[in-house]
Each structure stands twice: as structure tokens, then as C-alpha cells.
Structure 1
Amino acid sequence: MTRSREWTLDGHGGRLVARTWEGQGAPSYLVLLAHGYGEHVGRYEHVASALVAHGAVVHAVDHVGHGKSEGERVVIADFERVVDDLHEVDRKAREEHPDLPVVLVGHSMGGLIAARYAQRYGDSLAAVVLSGPLVGRWEAAAALLALPEMPDVPLDSTTLSRDPEVGRAYDDDPLVWHGPFRRTTVEAIERALAAVQAGPSLGSLPLMWAHGEADQLVPVGGTRSGIEHVRGERYVERIYPEARHEIFNETNADEVLSDVTAFVDEALRVRRA
């Protein structure tokens, strides 16, 4: 059985709301989870439950301006400060479980945050999983910034998953942002993409890249250039045919989560050896 609890911490832009999921027994590893643009950690209950069943304790935070955290809605001016916030979550998590290996999981914009986090703090991590990550080349950024103002059009929820219930739940979720992109955030994304490309590879840190082949929001081709830059010598790639952007919410989500836990098993086995 998975238990969850909310807690708060001070972030660079105000009070942040974090969540911890844990099981009945002693965990064998710790997961640090970074969510995507416009969403919140509450959308990851099933992901956390699967990881807890596998032996993890999971910690995540609503990024500044997202979900239950403070800040102007979906406005991020500097992703380096968001990495700082996630590192503070990590620090508090390690206070509870100081001897556990830490696996970092990031989806979409959270994949961008996770990639930069791994470049800065990779020595403290046991493995990294990037799901549909916003790294490499994202042509939508330049297209949006070329417009005189951001289109006031919500995200098309049918691009998230082949399961129509996922889109309906997203559209009905009051903690999800249903407005336009913010120029400040898109400009910050461009700078963060450049920072990842200018940063180091992950070296011996195990990396799993998982992506939907039919992802229209973060196309797999643009991401590949970023992955090729950051990947080191221990690397696993999973591209799921016909899957859309949110592979953890796709019709083959069980397969995706099984692949993730298998990757974690191998990374932790090698680490112990």
C-alpha cells in the first residue's frame, strides 16, 4: 500500500508544495521526480505507486508557478533556480534516508530540469530517467518567440495520450494551467536548452531515454540531438511506437513503467557490484 503526504519548503520564488510517497517497509532507493510544464505532481500518483511497489520512496515538488506552489502561474525566469529548488527537495529527502541511492526521473520540461540537474549534481545520483525530455532542439520555442504575443490557445490534450480519458482528466484538472505559454518561460527554456548543450556529458552515470514515437509536443527527432550530447557510456533507449507525449499515461504505460524499473534494477545492481 502506498501512503502519500504533502509538505512545504521555501523555494527561490516562494513557498513550494512537495509530496512524498512511501510504502510500509523500508525502501531500497529514493526517486526524485520532476514534472512537466503546466502540470503538477498530483498527476503522478500511479507512477509513484509503481515505483513504491518496486521498493522506492518517491519525492516530488510542484515547480514555482505550478500546481499548489506559489509564484505567477507557469512563469519560470531561470531554470538554474528551479534546479536549486529540486536540489533542496533532494537534500531534505536525504535527511530522512541518508544511505539510499537516488534515481532522478524527469518528464518533458521536467526532463530539461533533470538533465541540467544531472550535469550539476550527477556525482550524487545513481541513475537518470528522461521521459519525453525537452532537450536538444525544440523548434516550437523559436516559432512562439517570433510572434508578437503568445497565442491564447490551451494545449491540445489529445496530443498527450491515445487514451481519451487522459485528455479529459487533464482538461478538467483545476491545478493544470489551461492558458497560453508565457514569453518569459519560453525564453528561459531556450537558455536552459543552450546550457544543457554547453554542459558536460553524464559520463558513467546510467541514463535511460524513453520517448513516444508520435510525440507532437516534444518531437523525438529534436530531442535526440540533446540526448546524444548528454549520454555517457551507460545508456538505454526506448522509443515506443505510436505513443504520444505522456508515455507514463499512454495505453502501454505498464510496459513503460516495467522498462523503467528494469533499468533501475540494472543500474543499482551495477552500483552494488
Structure 2
Amino acid sequence: MPPHPVPAREWEFAGARGAITARIWPHPDPRYVAVLAHGYGEHLGRYQHVADALVRHGAVVAGPDHLGHGRSAGERALVTDVDDLVADLDTVVASARGDHPDLPVVLVGHSMGGLVAARHAQLHGGALAALVLSGPVIGRWEVLGPLLAADAIPDTPIDVATLSRDPAVGEAYARDPLVWHGPFKRPTLEALVAGLARVAEGGAFGALPTLWLHGSDDALVPLEGTRQGIDAVRGDDLRERIYPGARHEVFNETHRDEVLADVTAFVDDVLGPPR
């Protein structure tokens, strides 16, 4: 595949609570499907370089902008039930499987998208060949309690330096009009608490090969809180890569090429080497 960016095609479908915009990055002769689930407050357009790497590796790539995010409908950054996002993600997975019924599906979820992907794996793991969780919000996320206990949720913008050691990442995030730059909404916090509890109680991933990626210096979703969640859901085949000094967005870190190479090597190990 050529090294230049692969253009995405957008499509829209009726989601659980409103119209969802999804993207597809095509491949002329794919050997697997990769489905991406982005994090809270952002959108799938920030994953162009991830999609490019996966397409070059042999994947057709797809994913939604979650409800209330990016180009999808809904009040901005409002999530009232994580399972709504899971249902919308499953629509994309089912569509990709319908278009490519003979291909295995690899699900990649980052941050809140990791929570959504983990829940999807618990509910629909039989549809997946492999799961990748990047800085996932599962387990113990201590920021939720103090925010919910506050009379008024503070309108404090995210410190963009917590995203990556590459300052260009934070600068682009701060300028991005499709990124939510406002405060958490109380129903969203309550939905995340309920979603964390569902995943904690939802059982292990069984035989599903799972790769967990995390930065050791992740101040947004601290490593040890997530480790509790990983221990609750880990199945028979869990691999982990903890990157020293890396911050929250490991796909946007200064060593992003290493991270993406770890993902593609994992996929090759699960699916077999490219043709």
C-alpha cells in the first residue's frame, strides 16, 4: 500500500439514540477488519495515522464517532448509557462483517473507547478475533467520585500536556473544533460509573486474545486503576505493553511507530503472517 494517507469514506446510520457518523478506510484486498473506538470528548478523525498503519498492514478499517461526539448527532459529550455506545459500535462491527464475512475482526478501543470495546467483547466476543485496549477506562477511575460529589462540576479544560510528550499533539487537540472542550456533564459521569460496574461484573474475555497498552505516566487514566479492571476481565490470552514515560494517548506519543508496530505484530501473532 502507498505511504500517503488513505482517504476515509463517511456513512451514517440510525444509532441507539440518534444518527451516527462512521468512517471506513478501504483496502483493495484486506485480510482482516479493524474497528476503532475513540475516547471521550474526541472523534475518529484523530485516528487517521492509526488507520493508515492498519490499512498498510492489510486491514479495512472502520469506526463510529460516538453519540454526542465528532460528526454524530446528540448533545455534545453527553452519554447517558455506555451500552448505547456499545450498540452503535456493534452496528459498525456487524456492517463490516457483512461486507467481509470471511475476514476476522480486530477491535481497538482507546480510553473511554476502551471501556466500550471491553463491554462489547463481553457481550459479543464471539464476533471478534482479537481485542486491543489502549489506556482503557476500566477498573478504578478515581476522578469520578470527586467530580460527582461536587455541587458544580468544574469547567476546567484538560491539560493537553497530559495527552502526549509531543507538544504538537496537544496544540492540535486544543484547536480541534470537533473536540469537546467543556466540562463533564453529570449524566455522563453517572453513565461511566455504571459502565465501569457492568464491565467489572461482566466476566472475563475467555480465549479472546487481548493486548493492553498503557503509558506509565498516564495522568488522565492512571495505570494502577486500570490494572484492577484488567485483572477482573483478563482471559486466557492477555498480553500487556507498558511504555515507560508515555502519557495517555500512546498512539500519539513520541514513539507512536513502536506502539503501532506492537499492534500489528500482535495481529500477526493472532491471525498469522501476511500473505
- Calculate the TM-score normalised by the size of structure 1: 0.97
1:229 CA drift (Å): 1.1
1:131 CA drift (Å): 0.1
Q: How does 1:37-56 map to 2 (within 5 A)?
A: 37-56=40-59
Q: Does 1:194 align with 2:192?
A: no
1:202-230 Cα shifts (integer Å, max 9, x gaps): 01100000000000000000000100111
The aligned amino acid for 2:255 is: N
Map of 1:6 onto structure 2 = 10
Map of 1:262 onto structure 2 = 265
Map of 1:33 onto structure 2 = 36
Which whole-Å CA distance do the structure 2 matches of 1:68 and 1:150 have between them? 25
Map of 1:148 onto structure 2 = 151
1:96 CA drift (Å): 1.2
Map of 1:60 onto structure 2 = 63
Extract unaligned runs of 5+ from structure 2.
none
Map of 1:105 onto structure 2 = 108
Which whole-Å CA distance do the structure 2 matches of 1:191 and 1:235 have between them? 25
The aligned amino acid for 1:125 is: L
Map of 1:184 onto structure 2 = 187
| Counterpart secondary structure, 2:136 | coil
What is the percent sequence identity of the aligned residues? 59
Which whole-Å CA distance do the structure 2 matches of 1:230 and 1:201 have between them? 4
| Counterpart secondary structure, 2:147 | helix
1:125-155 Cα shifts (integer Å, max 9, x gaps): 0000000000000000011101001101111
Q: Does 1:217 align with 2:220?
A: yes
Q: Does 1:77 align with 2:89?
A: no
CA RMSD after TM alignment: 1.0
| Counterpart secondary structure, 1:170 | helix
1:22-45 Cα shifts (integer Å, max 9, x gaps): 23x310000111000000000000
Which whole-Å CA distance do the structure 1 matches of 2:270 and 2:253 have between them? 25
1:94 CA drift (Å): 1.6
Q: Say which is worse superposed, 235-244 or 84-93, in terms of deviation.
A: 84-93
Which whole-Å CA distance do the structure 1 matches of 2:142 and 2:183 have between them? 17
Extract unaligned runs of 5+ from structure 1.
none
Which whole-Å CA distance do the structure 2 matches of 1:98 and 1:149 have between them? 49
Q: Does 1:128 align with 2:136?
A: no
Which whole-Å CA distance do the structure 2 matches of 1:128 and 1:172 have between them? 31
Map of 1:171 onto structure 2 = 174
Which whole-Å CA distance do the structure 1 matches of 2:98 and 2:237 have between them? 28
| Counterpart secondary structure, 2:139 | coil
Map of 1:206 onto structure 2 = 209
> Which of 243, 252, 257 is the aligned partner of 2:255?
252
> Which of 13, 20, 24 is the aligned partner of 1:16?
20
Q: Does 1:239 align with 2:242?
A: yes
| Counterpart secondary structure, 1:139 | coil
1:212-268 Cα shifts (integer Å, max 9, x gaps): 000000000000010011111111100000000000000000000000100111111
The aligned amino acid for 1:130 is: L
1:89-120 Cα shifts (integer Å, max 9, x gaps): 11111221111100000000000000000000
| Counterpart secondary structure, 2:85 | helix
- Aligned length in residues: 269
| Counterpart secondary structure, 1:3 | coil
| Counterpart secondary structure, 2:189 | helix
1:3 CA drift (Å): 3.3
1:4 CA drift (Å): 1.4
Map of 2:122 onto structure 1 = 119
